[in-house]
Amino acid sequence: MSVIKTENLTYTYSIGTPFEKTAVNNVNLEIEEGALAGIIGHTGSGKSTLIQHFNGLIKPTSGKIYIDGEDIWSKDVKIRDIRFKVGLVFQYPEYQIFEETVYKDIAFGPKNMGLPDEEIDRRIKEIAELVGLHKDNLYKSPFELSGGQKRRVAIAGVMAMEPKALILDEPTAGLDPKGRDTILGQIKEYHQHKKSTVLLVSHSMEDMAKFADKILVMNKAEVFCYDDTPKVFARSAELENIGLAVPQITRVFNRLKQSGIDIRTDVYTVDFARKTILEYLEKRGGANA
Amino acid sequence: MLKDITIGQYFPGNSVVHRLDPRFKIIITGVFIAMLFSADGFLGLAVGGIFLIVSFLLSKIPFKLMMKSLKPIIPIILFTSVLNIFFLDGVPLLKLGFIKITDEGLRTSAFMVIRIIALIMGSSLLTYTTSPITLTDAIERLLSPLKKLKLPVHELAMMMTIALRFIPTLIEETDKIMSAQKARGADMETGSLVQRAKALTPILIPLFVSAFRRAEELATAMECRCYQGGEGRTRLRQLHSTGGDFFALGLSVIFLDAVLLLNFLMG
Ligand SMILES: Nc1ncnc2c1ncn2[C@@H]1O[C@H](COP(=O)(O)OP(=O)(O)OP(=O)(O)O)[C@@H](O)[C@H]1O
Ligand SMILES: [Mg+2]
């Protein structure tokens, strides 16, 4: 069964004013349980608006959202329970930190769930290790930490709620390449460890290529496609048409193909590129011999 | 959502009223208020009313929006009219026990209510058709003679501009922080008063932290661009008055004269 499902989901901001704007238009989606998916799209394509529907922060103008098969806006669903099922990490989440210590801040979500203290303690220790927060840091004021560490605290705060589906809005924004890879790696580890569904919004095709099994492409408030990563990158011409760059390595292979070399183009990681080139050379070498 | 609170309530447009020089618009609004307060009778109010309706039609502001500006003052309107209807002496029209309604009471309360409504609509029209930044700009210009008296006019206007500029930002920020805490299961809608007050901590602390950060960043940015107060500073947006501005001002003065004349004739 799908964890998240939408039916004709539409959302319009500021209806009836000159600022009216449809940010999500007629979206039909099904996210399978356990998926590790990326959401990509231009600035203003409606990604952030879409994901805020998934935990009931935004009520759709029209259409339906089902979490675990349940219509979240039907009368007998408590929206707060949905928030515990679908964890949402906002863009620049470090700005939501408020407690005196890192420990307490991570505990905020689990406490709201009404978990017993021992369970909260267990989760915090586990998550802190997973996101690479040192034990000593747990009892520091979060405002003393560096930006990247704060970001981890904020992400850990949602992970500690152990939601069925974890959604992150550009968790790597404003980090250096190494910090980016670290956080993506940790999120991936969380996914494997907890077997939960993880959705991640990003602007970087490179990150997506390394990270996601499936990719949802948003374009002008609509879903352009939602498919397995290789299949999405295989449509590189279309992607470029809507102004999204495919990973650089994919572009290299497209150019090779254009210049008459008979090589596959659904290549989007450097590792796979290496393998493909070696295979190709071997094949050609074999033909020559 | 918090977003729906419109402060300054500017309604972008390109009508004649929108294009008027903001300095003139402020003065004309003043003249309009003078009309309302100098009117002795309904006829005088009607003259002010015509002025308002014509400006309103010219501004192309939706009628619904104009009505919305009246919503917050409904209690004041009710209070005024009730007070006047029941407590003024005159020829009784209706008597129920100790409650009586007099003709004088009815007249005065209608007069007051119309005056308040016209007053609010007139000043809303100013804020609907002038962006807050332009408005402070114009206020600074109008007050600039006071600089001679060593009043820090520029600094006050700058403070107002910055405050206005950051109201939407802070509202947006509050919205974001509230969403983020709600996503972590923060419960702000239920519980006792104390519990709800406590539930504000997760919102207020990040909000203050970010407000201070923003203030510091802004101060640095201004210093980097050598901001040093109003002395010798020129402007990006120059205000130019045209014949149309003088015409509108003249028209409003004529209306005011008409009100005064009516007072004289009727009185
Ligand atoms: N609170 C709001 N009020 C009005 N319009 C909004 C609001 N938030 C977003 N929008 C508009 O909705 C559209 C979609 O915005 P959204 O934030 O969902 O885009 P996004 O895909 O997340 O972009 P980005 O990559 O820049 O984060 C944009 O055109 C934006 O201007
Ligand atoms: Mg966004």
Of residues A15 and A10, more confidently modeled: A10
Least confident of A189-198, B10-19, B109-118, B184-193: B184-193
pLDDT band at A1 (very low <50, low <70, confident <90, very high): confident
> Would you say residue B199 lies in a domain?
no
**Inter-chain touch A98–B176, beta carbons under 8 Å:** no
pLDDT band at A288 (very low <50, low <70, confident <90, very high): low
> Would you say residue B226 lies in a domain?
no
Q: Which residues contact A108 (CB under 8 A, 6 or more apart)?
A: A99, A157, B184, B186, B202
* Pair A275, A160 in one domain: no
Say how many C-beta atoms besides its own lie within 10 A of residue B235's C-beta. 9
What's the mean pLDDT in A12-25?
Answer: 88
Residue nearest to ligand 1 atom 4, measured at CA: A13
Cα A222 to middle of ligand 1, angstroms? 13
What is the CA A10 to chain-centroid distance, rounded?
21
* Pair A260, A239 in one domain: no
The model's pTM is 0.76
Residues 6-65 of B with CB under 8 A from A: 11-12
Domain that holds residue A253: 247-289
User: What is the model's pLDDT at position A249?
Assistant: 87
* Pair A230, A283 in one domain: no
* Pair A101, A178 in one domain: yes
**Inter-chain touch B177–A95, beta carbons under 8 Å:** yes
Residue nearest to ligand 1 atom 28, measured at CA: A44
**Given a cut of 90, is residue A50 above it in pLDDT?**
yes
Q: How far is B232 from chain A (nearest CA, A)?
A: 38
**Inter-chain touch A90–B181, beta carbons under 8 Å:** no
Cα angle at A160 between A155 and A162, to 5 degrees? 110
* Pair A207, A64 in one domain: yes
* Pair A158, A17 in one domain: yes
User: What is the model's pLDDT at position B196?
Assistant: 85
> Would you say residue B215 lies in a domain?
no
Q: How far is A161 from chain B (nearest CA, A)?
A: 8
**Given a cut of 80, is residue B80 above it in pLDDT?**
yes
**Inter-chain touch B184–A14, beta carbons under 8 Å:** no
The ipTM, to two decimals, is: 0.87
* Pair A6, A106 in one domain: yes
User: What is the model's pLDDT at position B136?
Assistant: 86
CB pairs under 8 A between A and B: 58
**Inter-chain touch B181–A57, beta carbons under 8 Å:** no
Least confident of A215-224, B59-68, B243-252: B59-68
**Given a cut of 80, is residue B134 above it in pLDDT?**
yes
* Pair A135, A206 in one domain: yes
User: What is the model's pLDDT at position A126?
Assistant: 94
Of residues A92 and B72, more confidently modeled: A92
User: What is the model's pLDDT at position B3?
Assistant: 47
Q: How many domains does chain B have?
A: 1
* CB-closest option in A18, A80, A90 to B180: A90
User: What is the model's pLDDT at position B1?
Assistant: 44
Residue nearest to ligand 1 atom 16, measured at CA: A46
Residues of A in contact with B202 (CB under 8 A): 96, 98, 108
* Pair A232, A269 in one domain: no
* pLDDT per residue as tens digits for the range A167-202: 999 999 888 888 888 999 999 999 999 999 999 999
User: What is the model's pLDDT at position B5?
Assistant: 46
Domain that holds residue B46: 2-167+238-266
DSSP alpha helices (H): ranges in chain A?
47-54, 79-85, 102-112, 117-130, 147-159, 177-194, 205-211, 229-233, 236-241, 248-258, 270-288
**Given a cut of 80, is residue B250 above it in pLDDT?**
yes
Percent pLDDT > 70 in chain A is 99
* pLDDT per residue as tens digits for the range A63-105: 999 999 999 999 888 999 999 999 999 999 998 999 999 999 9
Residues of A in contact with B183 (CB under 8 A): 55, 57, 83, 87-90, 158
* pLDDT per residue as tens digits for the range A113-138: 999 999 999 999 999 999 999 889 99
What's the mean pLDDT in A220-243?
Answer: 89
Chain A contact probe: residue of B9, B184, B187, B213 with most A CBs at under 10 A: B184
**Given a cut of 50, is residue A233 above it in pLDDT?**
yes
Nearest ligand 1 atom to alpha carbon A42 = 25
* pLDDT per residue as tens digits for the range B201-238: 999 999 999 999 999 999 999 999 988 877 778 877 78
Cα A57 to middle of ligand 2, angstroms? 14
**Given a cut of 80, is residue B118 above it in pLDDT?**
yes
Task: Name the residue with tokens 């994919």.
Answer: A250
Q: Which residues contact B112 (CB under 8 A, 6 or more apart)?
A: B80, B81, B84
* Pair A200, A220 in one domain: yes
User: What is the model's pLDDT at position A287?
Assistant: 62
> Would you say residue B261 lies in a domain?
yes
Q: How many domains does chain A have?
A: 2
* pLDDT per residue as tens digits for the range A155-167: 999 999 999 999 9
User: What's the mean per-residue pLDDT of chain A?
Assistant: 91
Q: Which residues contact B12 (CB under 8 A, 6 or more apart)?
A: A18, B18, B131
> Would you say residue B115 lies in a domain?
yes
**Inter-chain touch B176–A90, beta carbons under 8 Å:** yes
Q: A84 touching B, CB under 8 A?
A: yes
Q: What is the DSSP letter of A246?
A: P
> Would you say residue B177 lies in a domain?
no
User: What is the model's pLDDT at position A245?
Assistant: 79
* Pair A168, A267 in one domain: no
Query: Where does ligand 1 bind, in terms of residues with CB under 6 Å?
Result: A 13-14, 21, 23, 41, 43-49; B 3
User: What is the model's pLDDT at position B259?
Assistant: 93
Which CATH number belongs to the domain containing residue A13 in this structure? Answer: 3.40.50.300
* Pair A175, A270 in one domain: no
DSSP letter string, chain B = -GGG--SS------SHHHHS-HHHHHHHHHHHHHHHHH--SHHHHHHHHHHHHHHHHHHT--HHHHHHHHGGGHHHHHHHHHHHHHH--SSEEEEETTEEEEHHHHHHHHHHHHHHHHHHHHHHHHHHHS-HHHHHHHHHHHHGGGGGGT--HHHHHHHHHHHHHHHHHHHHHHHHHHHHHHHTT---SSS-HHHHHHTTHHHHHHHHHHHHHHHHHHHHHHHHTT---STT---SS-----HHHHHHHHHHHHHHHHHHHHHHHH-
**Given a cut of 70, is residue A289 above it in pLDDT?**
no
**Given a cut of 60, is residue A265 above it in pLDDT?**
yes
**Given a cut of 70, is residue B4 above it in pLDDT?**
no
